[in-house]
Structure 1
Amino acid sequence: MASPPLPSQIVGFNCKVMEEELQRLCLQGSHHEDNIRFLKSEIDALEVVCADLRTKLGKYHSSMAAVVNNDTSAQEAEQRTIQSILDQDKTVAAVICQLKVRHYERASKTPVMKDILGFVATLGKVNDDNLSRLLTEYLGMDNMLALVCKTYDGVKGLEKYDKDGIIDKSGGVYELGRLFGKFLDGRFTVFCLESSRPFSGEVDIDDPQRKLILHRPRFPGGESPPGFLGFAVNMIHLDREHLSCLTASGHGLRETLFYSLFSHLQVYKTRADIQHALPLINDGAVSLDGGILRPNGSFFLGDSKKLEVRFPVSLEVSGLPENITEMEEQVKLKSWEKERCLEDMRREEDLLKHVQELYSKQKKELMNYLTNAAVAQTQSVSPMIGSQATPGSNPFAAKPSLKR
């Protein structure tokens, strides 16, 4: 017949059972925490979608009120920008612009012109005058007047060099200047779409403007900074002809040119909003009241300069989906999905709290059990450890001698 387990074996077995229960509770708690994180990310994504839809709806309604019976507003804004470029006398931009606008037939036959897409100032529009002024001031006149070429071959065609590497001013863009009596001198900027490093993230293919999918800045608690309006690269409106302009690798103007110019530049309502969000700003920020923060941490202070060339300001709504009713239904649907996620998250938080309470209780029971077992073991062993005999006692239970 097997002997009964020793007290130490019983204690060890019970401890193992209780520890396994603690591990099970720990895993269960981790599962609930993972669910909460997932639901929180889903809620954040739904908030972004809803905010974007509401912004588009707001722009649609305000724009419709502003441009009723005024279909030429976009063309007029673009013409003003073109004229401001033509006014920049003795610049490469003015020469190229004059050739493209006033001598179209000659431009179409000139090899150097075939690869030139346009200028930074004419390739995008914005829907706010303040934003136009700020983004122009942020980029500077050299960038606003910069030529944009599709390929590197187009860039090479702008200048010719002699055998000593000296610029041959009888060829390339300098030859074009002489056609109009302009003797060009000095530096000028050219962007090459083919050579630029494109945005490495994803593009929203469902958006008519093919905006970049960028994550809104958020504080550790998950809330967005007050006054945040969006990213400058996504606030540039591209005409349909420019939306269809892609590099050989399939990247558009937003992913190449405008991302290289603005990167993750953030747009806020006020300077105070920028100050509040400083820990979340890595690639600079601008505010509609004139604040400019460069990516290197330097602030632009003082009054704004009068800018000769700016992005055209247009209230056109061609970039918005036509089915406004469908957009409004989408807002309702996404809001309902968000409420469901919030309910699921609250349920997961309650379950997590319950598991944490059980874990705490189980851990306390284990500690009490170990303490009581240790005390019991001490009490059972202590009488066996050479205790002194009291007078008249016989610790060895020996029978008293009957002899005298």
Structure 2
Amino acid sequence: MSNLNHQQCAQDNFCSVENINKRHEGSLKFLTTQANILDETILDLQVSLGKYHSSNGAGTSETGTSCTEEETRENILKIENSAAGLLCWLNSHHATQGLDLGFTKDVLGIVATLARVEDDNLSRLMSEYLGMETMLAIVCRTYEGVKALEKYDEEGNIKSDSKTCLHGAESSVGKKINGRFLVICLEDLRQYAGDFVADDPQKKLDIQKPKLPNGNCPDGFIDYAVNLVNLESRNLSFVTTNGQGLRETLFYCLLSRLQIYKTRAEMLQAFSCITDGALSLDGGMIKKSGAFALGSRKDVEVKFPLASGKTDVPAEYFECEDRLRKMKWERANIAADMRRVQELMNYTKANCIGQE
């Protein structure tokens, strides 16, 4: 190639890179404008909610069950040498102890603390069905959050001297984790793909009722367990990057299509249409089709806290909270888009400089 042609080619490449960068800069400017608009809207919504809190005392506990929730946490703390107990302790004492809990920023909570059940008997049954390991499972939004909880050395051993992980906090607070513990990653769960019950404030799943061979719904069928847990408004939606809530992710995975019946006799009569297990309010339990759990009920150590019934918080409050969550979710997505555009600009500039 002649020197003239080489210069022309280099000039064309430079113009092409310049045009690409102009498009990136335009995209970044647009995203920045959108982000600023969302920031202002978010601030306005937070001010509105703050005014409501100060004048009405709302928002601390939507169902007024703080005492029961506190009892659940106290029972978790009583489980010695558990990761859930250590996490609860850290969340309660990190400010006074000067602890950095950056490694828990993606943790949503412990399974037992993420839902409420209106009936104490049903709470005990569902907690027994899930088992202690699952009730004490730590729930993270992303796999990055899972990785942040535990660090390893070059030989694959757990590092207990790192202050940036859960095991590293043991030495700081004089507590220890024994054995394995369960961590659930929301973004990796098999998610519910159906519709929701129309106009239901709890966003219950629209799952078809079980049917006997004759086409009738079994006698004594109450509902699916996944629809019998109550969620705080902040956990109804936008807890995952693609905008899904705990019911259609965590609790759909844990409870699937677990059916609830009034009596054991009615549950057994419906056996032909039970695929993912069933519970009866008088203590019957089918783990899955063909697997029965017999014997006396267990006195569970950790169970879901109770919901006290309807709240007197007006619908406008929940609508405002829902809008705020949606705005924050959109803002997080825009921030991710801005990072990607900036990375493309940096990459293009680096390649351009390398070619000069």
Give TM class, smaller chain. 0.5 to 0.7
Cα deviation digits, residues 50-85 of structure 1 (max 9, x gap): xxxxxxxxxxxxxxxxxxxxx985111111101111
Give the ranges of 4+ consecutive aligned residues of structure 1 lying more than 6 Å apart after TM superposition: 105-108, 319-323
Task: Pick one of 239, 242, 255 that aligns with 1:249.
Answer: 242
Q: Say yes or no: does 1:236 pair with 2:229.
A: yes
In the TM superposition, 1:6-25 aligns within 5 A as none
Aligned residue in 2 for 1:266: 259
Q: Which amino acid aligns with 2:133?
A: D
CA 1:296–1:226: 2 relative to 1, 3 Å: closer
Offset from partner CA, 1:130-173 (integer Å, 9 cap, x none):
10010000000000000000111000011111112222222321
Counterpart pick for 1:114 among 105, 109, 118:
105
Q: Does 1:182 align with 2:165?
A: no
Say which of 101, 116, 122 aligns to 1:125.
116
Inter-partner Cα distance in structure 2 for 1:208 and 1:107: 39
Q: Name whichever of 99-108 and 126-135 sits farther off.
A: 99-108
Give the gaps of 5 or more residues in structure 2: 1-61, 317-356
Aligned residues with identical type, % of pairs = 45
Counterpart of 1:197 (choices 190, 197, 205) is 190
Under a length normalisation based on structure 1, what TM-score does the superposition of the two structures give? 0.59
Alignment of 1:36-55 (within 5 A): none
Q: CA deviation at 1:277?
A: 0.1
1:137/1:154 Cα in 2 relative to 1: closer, same or farther (>3 Å)? same
List per-residue Cα deviations over 1:2-39 (Å, max 9, x = no partner): xxxxxxxxxxxxxxxxxxxxxxxxxxxxxxxxxxxxxx
Max Rg structure: 1
Q: Which amino acid aligns with 2:207?
A: L
**Aligned-partner SS, 1:161:** coil
Letter in 1 for 2:128: E
1:335-374 counterparts in 2 under 5 A? none
Distance 1:231 1:104 in 2: 40
Deviation at 1:219, TM superposition (A): 2.0
1:205 Cα offset (Å): 5.4
Distance 1:197 1:315 in 2: 31
Match of residue 206, structure 1, among 179, 199, 205? 199
Aligned residues between the structures: 254
Instruction: Quote the Cα distance in structure 2 between the aligned partners of 1:99 and 1:198.
Output: 30
Q: 1-side partners of 2:99 and 2:242: how far apart?
A: 25
> For residues 139 and 107 of structure 1, what CA distance do their matches in structure 2 show?
35
Query: For 1:229 and 1:282, how far apart are their aligned partners in 2?
Result: 16
**Distance in 1 between residues matched to 2:271 and 2:313, nearest whole Å:** 32
TM-score (norm 2): 0.67
Contact 2:261 2:279 in 1 (8 A): yes
Note the aligned Cα RMSD (angstroms). 2.4
Deviation readout 1:215-271 (Å, 9 max, x if unpaired): 001223332101000000000000122224421112110011001100000000111
The structural deviation recorded for 1:122 is 0.2
Does the residue aligned with 1:293 lie in a helix, a strand or coil? Answer: strand
Match of 1:297 in 2: 290
Q: Secondary structure at the match of 1:173?
A: coil
State which of 76, 96, 112 in structure 2 corresponds to 1:85.
76
Cα distance in 2 for partners of 1:209, 1:319 equals: 15
SS in 1 for 2:108: strand
Q: Is 1:306 the equivalent of 2:299?
A: yes
